[in-house]
A and B are shown apart, each in its own frame.
Chain A
């Protein structure tokens, strides 16, 4: 059992929980994920770790409340327990000494982009953040992102906050202005990651995307998280979750991630990416 030591709502559909998980907190690195279960009947929900405190033995999870398990998580209080938390899973993000990085977060994807920005910024890398949201009321982690970046740009679909437009428009603008990024990290809805990758392709800027497809065990057993990368079958849980955005077959991934949506069984979708599509 894993105690919730802190919990707050970041917006109506996104909840932050800090969980007591000392083994995981000791080891986890940016880019890695955990799988949690709220109770015996719950789904195994994969979510990338948003932050961690090695001293206190806690990890922070930021979750969009879209399915039964995540909605119930949103209802839980500090002092209550999660049934299971397993991790850290997947490979940490690998970067070869970049000088200037653009970190792009879409909706709740900002929760996963944040530890990346933080790690890079702390290591002395110049970090620009572009955060995209549907509208002002769901903007999350603004202060946190500002604290770990040289420039922070917020984009909203309806223009109710920051600039009106898509993250790719801002990225294109920055590239056109001559900003030289050696790496772009994009985390958010699959279409966003797809179009960011298309934007960086002409200039051949290394682009890392973080995938979170449907999976069960997270250790390479079920094969549910397979993605086609550069024509080869890869497993997001052991080969990822980070992949080269220029090689991922995003269209196939979008179809596969929509599987549970059309399931006959009452849909208890757990994938954060689908949730992020709305953000």
Chain B
């Protein structure tokens, strides 16, 4: 009997007042009972509109029916047919704009909590599942993956399953990309990423850290000297953007990338690590995306008294997920909307002491379809802060395109690929932020998946023509 409740089973969470001061995971996950109850809300539509909304094509109604029947291991196996990182996706995917946005139950009431169910199954599997991973029989063909983030890891996993000898080159000292340096522990515990990486290694994927391709080895060298037959570039986002306003060179101004990397990858919040970080008392985060929310909530957890989100449009246009905005507000983040920074002021030692903004109002829609924010003359105001975090997005890393002949990029510096993720250079494929500019984990995974399939077809025709 279907559960006809119009709302999702809520997921237990840490109390906002407690969690705002710790780095432990905010949401605690469904119990088995909650998961089964929520699974019964699924109508098992024949047309499977939800699957069409999933970039990696997870067979959603099938796994949900298995949960309803209490068959959690089988449910997990269904997800793993198409997704290599279920515990990650269940936490950080934007389900509300993807699978859940297509759910029939969402027409009247809330959609089925697909994301929460995916997470439940993945967590159940980590705890109780059988983790015997069989190493596939090697076909002896070597493929190089550049970047151990969501795109690269997905591509590596799919190719390893097909028998390729996969080596992943990672610039940082740890694999995971944005999953380890960008997304905070309280949204995605690093032990989960570590597990997923270990699973890939069990499948025979070799991970080489501290390898900056384009510097230590070129793509041409990977082909010619190391006998790789195809290369996938998943090098991710690059240079953080700044506003170009006065005062961005002051001490206490961070890019969100730097601030979050210090905290997440380099564990600046823990006493046993040496990483220095400014623990601001009053922090302004400029920007309204998910990364801005992560930075703001991290600053709060480091002990700030006030954390402001400064965003030039209104709440409706905030690009961050609703859930993140909601969590941020619960934790006491203060939203200064329709406000745009003009200048950062410093003291005599060059430390930030305030940020000057101007009020904005919304005018006619611009090219993005959103109403253009316009400054309100004479409405300047200053907010006393000791730390400013710029979270305005990134532009792709120039390292590979500048050191690889024949690799074409568009005028924004993003690598150009066809629908199968092939670049302009033979045997070289690309996906994720390196192609799209800053986007989401799941889109990067989808691209890694598509690229793996294309690489497989390319190599099969090359070696078995």
Where the two chains meet, the residues of A that have a C-beta atom closer than 8 Å to any C-beta of B are 23-24, 27, 37, 41-44, 67-69, 83-89, 216-224, 226, 228, 233, 235, 238, 249, 252, 255-256, 258-260, 262-265, 267-269
How far is A268 from B252 in the complex, measured between Cα atoms in Å? 17
Chain B residues positioned under 8 Å from A68 (CB to CB): 274
How far is A24 from B266 in the complex, measured between Cα atoms in Å? 23
Report 19 cross-chain contacts, Cβ distance below 8 Å, ordered by A residue.
A23-B216, A23-B217, A41-B274, A84-B173, A84-B210, A86-B172, A86-B212, A87-B215, A89-B212, A216-B266, A221-B181, A221-B238, A221-B257, A223-B242, A224-B255, A224-B258, A235-B239, A263-B277, A268-B274
Indicate if the CB atoms of A85 and B210 lie closer than 8 Å. Answer: yes
Within 8 A of A (CB), among B178-229: 181, 209-212, 215-217
Q: Return the chain B residue nearest A224 by Cβ.
A: B258
Chain B interface SS verdict (over half)? loop
Asked if B240 is at the interface (CB within 8 A of a chain A CB), the reply is: yes
Chain A residues positioned under 8 Å from B240 (CB to CB): 221-223
What is the number of contacts between chain A and chain B, taking CB atoms within 8 Å?
Answer: 127
Asked if B237 is at the interface (CB within 8 A of a chain A CB), the reply is: yes
Asked if B454 is at the interface (CB within 8 A of a chain A CB), the reply is: no
Indicate if the CB atoms of B171 and A219 lie closer than 8 Å. Answer: yes
Q: Which residue of A233, A255, A264 contacts B279 across the interface (Cβ within 8 Å)?
A: A264
Where the two chains meet, the residues of B that have a C-beta atom closer than 8 Å to any C-beta of A are 171-173, 181, 209-212, 215-217, 236-240, 242, 244, 248-252, 254-255, 257-258, 261-262, 266-268, 272-279, 349-351, 394, 397-399
Indicate if the CB atoms of B277 and A265 lie closer than 8 Å. Answer: yes
Chain A residues positioned under 8 Å from B249 (CB to CB): 226, 228, 249, 252, 255-256
Indicate if the CB atoms of B209 and A258 lie closer than 8 Å. Answer: no
Q: Which 8 A-B pairs have the closest CB atoms?
A: A255-B350, A223-B255, A86-B210, A223-B240, A222-B258, A268-B274, A84-B173, A252-B249
Indicate if the CB atoms of B276 and A255 lie closer than 8 Å. Answer: no
- CB of A205 to closest CB in B, whole Å: 27
How far is A220 from B258 in the complex, measured between Cα atoms in Å? 11
Chain B residues positioned under 8 Å from A268 (CB to CB): 274-276
Indicate if the CB atoms of B251 and A259 lie closer than 8 Å. Answer: yes
How far is A264 from B242 in the complex, measured between Cα atoms in Å? 25
Chain A residues positioned under 8 Å from B212 (CB to CB): 86-87, 89, 218-219
Indicate if the CB atoms of B216 and A267 lie closer than 8 Å. Answer: no
Q: Which residue of A23, A43, A249, A255 contacts B275 across the interface (Cβ within 8 Å)?
A: A43
8 further A-B contacts with Cβ under 8 Å, apart from A86-B210, A86-B211, are: A41-B273, A44-B266, A68-B274, A85-B210, A86-B171, A220-B397, A255-B251, A259-B251
Q: Which residue of A220, A226, A267 contacts B238 across the interface (Cβ within 8 Å)?
A: A220
Indicate if the CB atoms of A27 and B216 lie closer than 8 Å. Answer: yes
Q: Which residue of B173, B244, B261, B268 contacts A221 across the interface (Cβ within 8 Å)?
A: B261
- CB of A242 to closest CB in B, whole Å: 16
How far is A43 from B173 in the complex, measured between Cα atoms in Å? 12
Given contacts A23-B216, A43-B275, A238-B398, contact A265 B268 (CB under 8 A): yes
Q: Which residue of B236, B239, B257, B276 contacts A260 across the interface (Cβ within 8 Å)?
A: B276
Q: Which residue of B172, B252, B394, B399 contacts A259 across the interface (Cβ within 8 Å)?
A: B252
How far is A41 from B272 in the complex, measured between Cα atoms in Å? 7
- CB of A159 to closest CB in B, whole Å: 33
How far is A261 from B239 in the complex, measured between Cα atoms in Å? 25
Given contacts A27-B215, A219-B171, A255-B250, contact A264 B278 (CB under 8 A): yes
Given contacts A41-B273, A83-B173, A259-B278, contact A220 B399 (CB under 8 A): yes
Chain B residues positioned under 8 Å from A69 (CB to CB): 274
Chain A residues positioned under 8 Å from B257 (CB to CB): 221-223
How far is A88 from B215 in the complex, measured between Cα atoms in Å? 6
How far is A256 from B349 in the complex, measured between Cα atoms in Å? 10
Q: Return the chain B residue nearest A67 by Cβ.
A: B274
Indicate if the CB atoms of B274 and A226 lie closer than 8 Å. Answer: no
Indicate if the CB atoms of B275 and A37 lie closer than 8 Å. Answer: no
Indicate if the CB atoms of A84 and B209 lie closer than 8 Å. Answer: yes
Among B238, B249, B273, B278, the one with the most A-chain Cβ atoms within 10 Å of its Cβ is B249
